[in-house]
Amino acid sequence: MATVTRSTELLPIREKVLAGERLDLDDGIALLESDDLLTLGDLADTARRVRGGSDDVFFVNNLYLNHTTICRVKCKFCAFAKTSKQPGAKLWDIDDLVEHAVTLRRTQDFTEIHMVGGENPHLDLGYYVDVTRALRQALPDVHLKLFTASEIHHMTKLSGLEHEEVLRELVAAGLDTLPGGGAEIFAPRVRKIIAPGKEPAEYWFRVHRAAHAMGLRTHCTMLYNHVETFEERIDHLLRLRDLQDETGGFMAFIPLPFHPQNTVFERRGWTFTTGADDLKMIAVSRLMLDNIEHVKAYWIMISTPLAQIALHFGADDVQGTVVEEQIAHAAGAVTPTEEKVEALVHLIAEAGRVPVQRDTFYRELRRWA
Ligand code: SF4
């Protein structure tokens, strides 16, 4: 009976979804406050199908790299960053990094490199440009998805150039798209608590807006379950939706659950999200972001079993093979650091969906019937 009552509460939102109407801040908060998980999943899956989604579920064969763990910012939620004197501090020599990637390519047929790192104060723009060019020359057919908006902003500080100028140099060296990291939660109140040393959200938007204006496609994220309110989560999604209305440059949204291990939040008693938290956030993201085509179930942080269920809660992408993930694992992720193509195909098929291997632009490379 309780479920029926709660479902009735979401009926006005269901009517909006079926009519293709846009959901607003109050709708988003009502969805997050609902405990009716199955209705949320059904609504999100319905929204996905109403907007033209099919049973296709995508993944990419990709390689994760981190060129440096050294970072000046000290975000309180981060277990990855090191000062240059701490154990684990690392800065890849460019030749070694490229050789490492080339060696891995001999056995793994990845089509994309996803590379992010700390805001290392000891670098200059030349390092970023040179590493991009070196990867491009060594692996000309691999898509380069490199550097968060925070790192691009860091490069403007290192070089004195504008965001557009930095992006132009990187694109000339071989950059193809930007990942979505550095977004965290946009609300200033939250950023002040969790990342007081990080630039305001306006810079994240400036970088992505500039990238879109140059024809670069990008990704967007949200790190949830730390100090933010439901209203601040929905505000974050609405800000992304607004930019997408303006530019259409985002390809996918990735909700990232906060992992507290090895951060100050662990000592203060924060815990990992539950499966219900994660499924709810994926469903609400799918419902609110009516203009971003893909929502990812990021198996690295939510586990492969939950990613399977998430495919019925609005997600249509399980990210990729990854290989060597370090950031989530530093913060306590207990998932493997890579999955093989066969495992992802099995995961998707067993969830009753059609596995489709994609390139970074969601062009189909292979389909499993
Ligand atoms: S989240 Fe990024 S910017 Fe913040 S401390 Fe970690 S590596 Fe540095």
Cβ 119 under 6 angstroms from ligand 1 = yes
Percent of the chain with pLDDT over 90: 84
Q: What is the pLDDT of residues 141-161, one digit of tens each?
A: 999 999 999 999 999 999 999
- pLDDT category, 223, cuts 50, 70, 90? very high
Q: Which residue has the higher pLDDT, 369 or 350?
A: 350
Cβ 179 under 6 angstroms from ligand 1 = no
What is the reported pLDDT for 13?
96
| Domain limits, the chain | 24-367
What is the reported pLDDT for 334?
67
What is the reported pLDDT for 305?
93
Share the mean pLDDT of the chain.
94
Cβ 181 under 6 angstroms from ligand 1 = no
Residue 70: pLDDT above 60? yes
Residue 224: pLDDT above 90? yes
Percent of the chain with pLDDT over 70: 95
Centroid of ligand 1 to alpha carbon of 31 (angstroms): 31
Centroid of ligand 1 to alpha carbon of 10 (angstroms): 38
Cβ 150 under 6 angstroms from ligand 1 = yes
Per residue, what are the HEC states of the chain?
CHHHHHHHHCHHHHHHHHCCCCCCHHHHHHHHHCCCHHHHHHHHHHHHHHCCCCCEEEEECEEEECCECECCCCCCCCCCCECCCCCCCCECCHHHHHHHHHHHHHHCCCCEEEECCCCCCCCCHHHHHHHHHHHHHHCCCCEEEECCHHHHHHHHHHHCCCHHHHHHHHHHHCCCEECCCCCCCCCHHHHHHHCCCCCCHHHHHHHHHHHHHCCCCEEEEEEECCCCCHHHHHHHHHHHHHHHHHHCCEEEEEEEECCCCCCHHHHCCCCCCCHHHHHHHHHHHHHHCCCCCEEECCHHHHCHHHHHHHCCCCCCEEEECCCCCCHHHHCCCCCCCCCCHHHHHHHHHHCCCEEEEECCCCCEEEECC
Residue 190: pLDDT above 90? yes
Q: What is the pLDDT of residues 310-334, one digit of tens each?
A: 999 999 999 888 776 777 777 667 6
Cβ 194 under 6 angstroms from ligand 1 = no
Going by CA atoms, what residue is nearest to atom 1 of ligand 1? 78
CATH of domain 24-367: 3.20.20.70
Centroid of ligand 1 to alpha carbon of 56 (angstroms): 34
Residue 3: pLDDT above 60? no
Residue 313 annotated as lining a ligand binding site: no
Read off the pLDDT of each residue in 226-236 and give the average, rounded to a whole number.
97
Read off the pLDDT of each residue in 186-210 and give the average, rounded to a whole number.
97
